[in-house]
Amino acid sequence: MKKIKFSLTVLVFAAIMTGCSSDDDLNVTPTASCSDGIQNGTETGVDCGGSCTPCENQAQKDGVIDSQDDPDLDPADLKGDVTADITLDANTAWTLTGSLTVKAGATLTIDPGTTIMAQPGGTNVYIAIEQDALIDAEGTADEPIVITSAATNKRSGDWGGLILAGKAPINSGTTAEAEVVGLTYGGTEADDSSGTLKYVKVEYTGARIGGEQEFNGITFYGVGSGTVIENIAVLNGDDDGIEWFGGTVSVKNALVVNAKDDWFDWTEGWAGKGNTNFFGVREFGYNDVTEDPRGIEADSNSSNNDASPRSNPTIDGLTLLHQSQIEMADMIKIRRGSSATITNGVIAILAAEGEDPGSASDFIDLTDGSGAAAATTSINVSAVGAADGSDVKNEVGATITVVDGNTGADASLFGWTGYTIPTIE
């Protein structure tokens, strides 16, 4: 009985004490320490927020770059769809890790002296400028813009390349879809502008999707005459150096070195009229080739040679220098309805000291099973070294003039690239 009375007394005392306690005494709020690695107290995050230092905004990447402060504008992981004006500055180390696509209404500015290292990723790594988007890449001779491979052992085809798509006329339809990244190109705006490229060098481009689909160093899809292209260089590409798919854009001072396929290639009605100073070279010892490497490969439309607009560019000042011991298919191949006017041209096949020179199946060939060149084609050129100026296939009666003394492209204008152009003697 004594034990029972004691137990009841304890229970009554406990009940009295409970009744006297407040809710605050039972629900103690932990004090924020701001340094214990735990979200507690009034903290809104771990050791931040509330009575602690405000938490940083940890925005998540979504693949879209819509401001200069967007987390997707990551120098170490540069890729995504650009929907606002952004700038890549020369003081930042930029690594291109995927596709960087500038969407309509946005401008990509690349400051002079900027270097972009493209992570080897083949066809998944490239820079593309869509219709109604702009690129403003204005380097200088002292501070060129360079886009190159990030690989330790660099090689052609490490990444895609630089692509511009405009709204100028093409002859494969009012518009078409680019063979490599699906961009729409073409239209009716001959003076359309895709922006500016000045003193821009790209290297180790040309990733291949398939036998007929490949990136080039720089590709112009339906790019208009309002676009300014001056002083560009493409070195060590796996496919063509520079290619035009229709459009009216002109290029001043273009250098292509060691393109595995064609150095300069056009099709679908390219009609740029102000092209000057084109220099293409295949160096001694560079023996990587496709099935039919050429200095110039020119088409208009293989399905309809008379399709409008006809490819009909003008080029003043052209040098094609072949030093490798492999055989070029043609130094100049114009076919499938294309016309062209080339003045002050030089085609040189030279040997390294103590070596035999390379060769070309044809010096100039204006014939093809899918249609010859247009009869309006006019070429004025000098043959140097082992180049055979009499080896001309011209069934259409175009004007081909082989003369002595042409100077060709002015090599001194490419000093900004850092590449030493071989002397032609």
Q: pTM here?
A: 0.87
Query: Is 4 within the bounds of a domain?
Result: no
Torsion sign (Cα): 158, 164, 169, 173 = positive
Peptide bond preceding 169: is omega within 30 degrees of 0, i.e. cis? no
Are 227 and 218 a contacting pair, CB within 8 Å? Answer: no
Helix or strand holding residue 6 (H, E): helix 2-20
Report if residue 231 sits inside a domain.
yes
* Domain annotation covers residue 15: no
Q: Is residue 51 part of a domain?
A: no
Task: State the residue range of the domain holding 180.
Answer: 64-417
Residue 308's pLDDT is: 98
pLDDT at 32: 64
176 occurs within a structural domain: yes
16 domain residue, yes or no: no
Tell me, yes or no, whether 74 lies in a domain: yes
Give the integer Cα–Cα distance in Å for 318 and 410. Answer: 9
- pLDDT recorded at residue 254: 99
- Answer yes or no: is 185 within a domain: yes
By DSSP bridging, strand 184-185 and strand 176-177 are antiparallel
Print pLDDT tens along the chain (425 aa).
444 443 434 333 344 444 444 444 444 555 667 888 888 888 877 888 888 887 765 578 999 999 999 999 999 999 999 999 999 999 999 999 999 999 999 999 999 999 999 999 888 999 999 999 999 999 999 999 999 999 999 999 999 999 999 999 999 999 999 988 999 999 999 999 999 999 999 999 999 876 567 899 999 999 999 999 999 999 999 999 999 999 999 999 999 999 999 999 999 999 999 999 999 999 999 998 899 999 999 999 999 999 999 999 999 999 999 999 999 999 999 999 999 999 999 999 999 888 889 999 999 999 999 999 999 999 999 999 999 999 999 999 999 999 999 999 999 999 999 999 998 98
The angle subtended at Cα 130 by Cα 96 and Cα 414, nearest 5°, is 65
**Helix, strand, coil tally for the chain in percent (to 5):** 5, 35, 55
In whole angstroms, what separates CA 110 from the centre of its chain? 13
Number of domains in the chain: 1
Residue 133 pairs with which residues in a beta bridge? none
Q: What is the dihedral of CA 372, 374, 375, 381, to 10 degrees?
A: -90
Count of CB atoms situated within 10 Å of the CB of 203: 22
Angstrom CA distances, 126 to 69, 99, 137, 271, 405, stand at 22, 5, 15, 26, 41
Quote the pLDDT of residue 29.
54
* Contact call for residues 135 and 156 (beta carbons, < 8 A): no
pLDDT at position 31: 63
